[in-house]
A and B are shown apart, each in its own frame.
Chain A
Amino acid sequence: MSNEAVVHAHGAVTTHEGHGDHHHEHHHHETFISKYVFSQDHKMIAKQFLITGMVWAVLGGLMSVLFRLQLGYPDATFPWLEDILGKWAKGGRITPEAYYALVTTHGTVLVFFVLTAGLSGTFANFLIPLQVGARDMASPFMNMLSYWFFFAASIVMLSSMFVETGPFSGGWTAYPPLSALGDASPGSKIGMDMWLISMALFVVSSLLGGLNYIATVLNMRTKGMSMTRLPLTIWALFFTAVLGVLSFPVLFSGFILLIFDRNFGTSFYLSDIFINGVGALPNEGGSAILYQHLFWFLGHPEVYIILLPAMGMVSEILSVNSRKPIFGYMAMIGSLFAIAILAFLVWAHHMFVTGLNPFLGSIFVLLTLLIAVPSAIKVFNWLTTLWRGNIRFTPGMMFAIGFVSLFISGGLTGIWLGNSALDIHLHDTYFVIAHFHIVMGVASMFGMFAGIYHWFPKMYGKYLNNTMGYIHFWVTIAGAYLIFWPMHYEGLAGMPRRYYDYSIWESFKQFVELNRFISTVAMIVFAVQLLFLFNFFYSIFKGRKVTTLNPWGANTLEWTTPIHPGHGNWVGEIPEVHRWAYDYGKDGKEFIPQTTPVGADESDHH
């Protein structure tokens, strides 16, 4: 469908809305189903992604609390666990099967369902049309499908937790042969088939979404919105979509081969295997390492799929609330671009100790550490953005500052792990857990929170409660550091990941108290996230009402829409853009929206 047709179709919608003020947000023909369920409005789809993501975040977070119980209190029994988990917690102690299933599902769900679908699904959907000046996505129907494929993936993943042999339990990376052989681990039986189906549906969802985001950014910008006038959020979401579209298919191919190995007797990943109790398998000539290449070819870009949207939103929020332009706009785009390119060239740094050709390994060391350069540029630019600003600590701003802090902390340990000669010591220890949880997990979560606090007024026409927001922020950032900072020390003791119990290990058993402390903090932090969720849902209905169009005094286009924008976003014509998004504090004016024409006496404009 051409742009014009889309605009035309929605033009009809908006004229209609223009007629009845009292009927502002409701369109005549919209039923409950078409408005809230099978909606094609990007704003509603964004909210669907967000709320589904929240459900998964609670489930995934709860799983981490459960396995942290085991790690923190390895000798204790909790009878209520048996009430909840049944045979998976016989006698009130989580079994190893359940522990590994929890760890695996926690990883899968948080990486894909929360930080990919929940983060870029929400904000790409919500912000791209609003900030580029479009009435909706290039294909609202595909956009709707994108959500429902995600929903289907969620249902399958959820169901896999209730099968008799348990959900998949071989780690979120699902390395074969463990993931290929039901005889090697009960979790690799039907649970793994469901895991693969769920992930395949998820890949479809990502591709449908990603193609739409790219098409919308490239083709549907409003008049005057050149690429170099786009807010950095859009640039980041754009690169995110490109990464996803180019790398998810590779993951998909890896999964297809795995499905064949599991069910149809092929030997893509299998060779020379003898399973206790089963005997030698007929498969010969396959390579278990091939899967890792296919997996990490997505797996590493995936890290940036998670991180880039957070970077984009943080750039925007830091600038708006410092009342100062983002420093080095072009360098910010350049570094996003560099990160996006390098993201495809570093996957094998997850595989330094697989027996990879050492020369190939050395190339990946070089390219991996190269990523630190654009990352450093971004950090220094954010710091300079704060410098001599006039900072308003909205909850969104605080999470943005927290993001920068966490990104620094977690990014620096990447320099350790990217260097193969150090990775040979630290690989798969708690050091790695600390690294990626801080830089990818918590930092991106902070980006997401920043986005939610900042755009909640646009989403629901209400404010979130600030006091709860501040409590949420301070407890979460302190808790995140208290949980993950000491894990570096466990890693430096060589303590391996994914262990159910450390008590038999002379080298790793000295951290009992620390593990207990970490588990306790994890529970507190989890509870505070529930407080946030309460704030979120309470404020949708009972929050303070937004009474001005532009509550943060921001320049971007979404704040020129009505407080409760209908499907089509703008009543009447889409505004024209005359400048970049960051004219804050210019010529003594606090802010100059993008829609303001350049004045005759204005100093140099972008």
Chain B
Amino acid sequence: MTMFLTIAVIVLIFVVIFQIAKASEYVSVLKGEEVSRKQNNKINGFLMMGFLVLGLIGVWYCNKLYYGKTLLVQDAASVEGARVDSMLWVTLALTGVVFILTQIVLFWFAYKYQEKENRKVFFFPHNTKLEVIWTVIPAIALTVLVVIGLRNWFLFTGEPPQNAMVVEVTGKQFGWIYRYPGKDGSFGKKYYKNIDNASNSLGLIWEDKLGHDDLVMEQTMYLVKGKPVKLIIGSRDVIHDVGLSHFRMKMDAVPGIPTTLWFTPKYTTKEMKELTKNPDFQYEISCDQMCGNGHYSMKGVIEVVDQEEYDAWMVKQKPYYAQQFPDKDTAAPKAVADTAKTASAKPVEAVKKAVAKL
């Protein structure tokens, strides 16, 4: 019912507008088309100025309403993210000034140079000096931005510091799987044809003993405050994207092609709860690349804690291998110790064999 009412109202408004529009045409014939054209010109010239003033007020008001809801009021949660923010402010200042000035000039000119009876237009086809000025100045400004940008870019995409921890992140429809390398600090090899949702979600090659102490988990990833982390990102099916808005970072997860991303968390989740005054605060991983119908729900969580808490959490974790083969569990610590010596040669061969078989 409301549907029909709405349509009726819209149609009614249309009819009224149409009638006014038609009437104005008749009136203009009566008044003389030239006279009414000039009146319209004045009205629209005035509206140009009105639009400028209202527009600028609108820009200010919009900022007042929504500035507080953006990340601009939150300190970046990573050391590198702080550089993104400072670069953002420089860019905002520069483009903001240009925006305000050019919009003012545009609408002010439109208003000021509206048709007047005896204005003689200025025949001004070109002026080399002016054109050089507004080629060179933007070029210089942009050079500055490029330099700042590229310095950050090479830092972000360069090698992480030596002490960085490594976590592997794998996207799938529609969730994230994390893998920690375990005590030995290296990941075991994996092959996608070994994937089995129930028993081997990443397709680890069990013959590779480096993987026996790997931790595999979903939902929450634990990171350490102040410790750089390098993410090795991959995907099991389609392209996803690890979106880390609080850390100001983002990287695609591409099947078959591992990508990396590193950053240094600056605040623990607890500290962020206080800083944002939001007791429900979470570091969320949002999938930022269209990946199917569940794209909007592909959420992961990062829990940033301090080192002690992290260590306490870590000892409670059971390696994935041990979870899948509980019978071999008791032997596991010993086996790892044993193979540590011969690890270099044997597992690699085993892996080669396994791959060859496939």
Contacts and interface: CB of A to CB of B under 8 A. Distances in A.
A48 interface: no
Contacts of A477: 51
A40 B287 CA distance: 50
Contacts of B21: 465-468, 471, 535
Interface string B188-232: 000011010100000100000000000000000000000000000
A212 B18 CA distance: 40
B40 interface: yes
B130 A177 contact: no
Interface in B83-97: 83-84, 87-88, 91-92, 94-95
Interface string B214-254: 00000000000000000001001111010101101111101
A369 B146 contact: yes
Contact of A494 (B255, B286, B290): B286
B299 A505 contact: yes
Interface in A363-392: 365-366, 369-370, 372-373, 376-377, 379-381, 383-384, 386-392
Interface residues of A, number: 133
A200 B55 CA distance: 43
B347 to A, nearest CB: 21
Interface in A301-355: 322-331, 353-355
Interface stretch (A6-14, A28-36, A241-249, A508-516): A508-516
Nearest to B194: A280
B245 A387 contact: no
B4 to A, nearest CB: 9
B163 interface: no
Given A177-B239, A391-B113, A331 B66 contact: no
Interface stretch (B132-140, B307-315, B321-329, B335-343): B132-140
A184 B102 CA distance: 47
Nearest to B45: A393
A330 B238 contact: no
Contacts of A499: 295-296
B262 to A, nearest CB: 12
A327 B126 contact: yes
Interface in B118-157: 119-127, 130-131, 134-135, 138-139, 142, 145-146, 148-150, 152-154, 156-157
Contacts of A325: 123-125
B121 A424 contact: no
B280 interface: yes
Contacts of A501: 296-297
A425 B88 contact: yes
A436 interface: no
B47 interface: yes
Contact of B135 (A373, A387, A471, A530): A373
Interface string A70-88: 0000000010100000000
Contacts of A493: 69-71, 245
Contacts of A380: 130, 134
B62 A273 contact: no
Contacts of B186: none
A479 to B, nearest CB: 12
Contacts of A535: 21
B135 to A, nearest CB: 6
A353 B157 contact: no
B256 A467 contact: no
Contact of A100 (B70, B110, B293): B293
Contacts of A177: 237-239, 255
B121 A419 contact: no
Contact of B121 (A353, A376, A388, A492): A388
B57 interface: no
A498 interface: yes
B104 to A, nearest CB: 10
B115 A391 contact: yes
A468 B58 CA distance: 25
Max chain B C-beta neighbours (<10 A), residue from A287, A380, A500: A380
Contact of A376 (B87, B134, B291, B295): B134
Given A331-B131, A496-B243, A324 B290 contact: no
Nearest to B23: A467
Contacts of A39: none
Contact of A416 (B24, B69, B88): B88
B192 A280 contact: yes
Interface string B66-110: 110111100000000101100110011011001100110111011
Nearest to B157: A358
Given A274-B237, A353-B252, A354-B254, A421 B150 contact: yes
Nearest to A379: B102
B192 A405 contact: no
Contacts of B24: 466-467
B289 interface: yes
A183 B259 CA distance: 25
A26 interface: no
Nearest to A587: B123
A289 interface: yes
A436 to B, nearest CB: 15
B99 to A, nearest CB: 5
Nearest to B116: A390
Nearest to B243: A496
A507 B286 contact: yes
B124 A184 contact: no
Contacts of B291: 178
A508 B286 contact: yes
Contacts of A270: 255-256
Given A412-B99, A419-B87, A427-B250, A274 B192 contact: yes
A67 interface: no
B172 interface: yes
Interface stretch (A132-140, A442-450, A578-586): A578-586
A158 interface: no
A585 B120 contact: yes
Contacts of B25: 465-467, 544
A284 B255 CA distance: 10
15 contacts: A80-B3, A175-B238, A178-B291, A271-B255, A328-B126, A362-B153, A381-B131, A386-B110, A424-B156, A424-B251, A427-B288, A485-B59, A492-B72, A494-B286, A497-B288
Given A187-B293, A287-B257, A499-B295, 18 more contacts: A184-B238, A270-B255, A273-B236, A322-B113, A327-B127, A354-B259, A355-B251, A372-B138, A373-B135, A376-B134, A377-B131, A389-B121, A404-B106, A405-B106, A419-B145, A466-B21, A586-B123, A587-B123
Interface of A: 78, 80, 96-97, 100, 169-171, 175-178, 181, 184-187, 270-276, 280, 284-289, 322-331, 353-355, 358, 361-362, 365-366, 369-370, 372-373, 376-377, 379-381, 383-384, 386-393, 398, 401, 404-405, 408-409, 412-413, 415-416, 419-422, 424-425, 427-429, 465-468, 470-471, 474, 477-478, 481-482, 485-486, 489-490, 492-494, 496-502, 504-508, 510-511, 514, 527, 530-531, 534-535, 544, 582, 584-588, 606
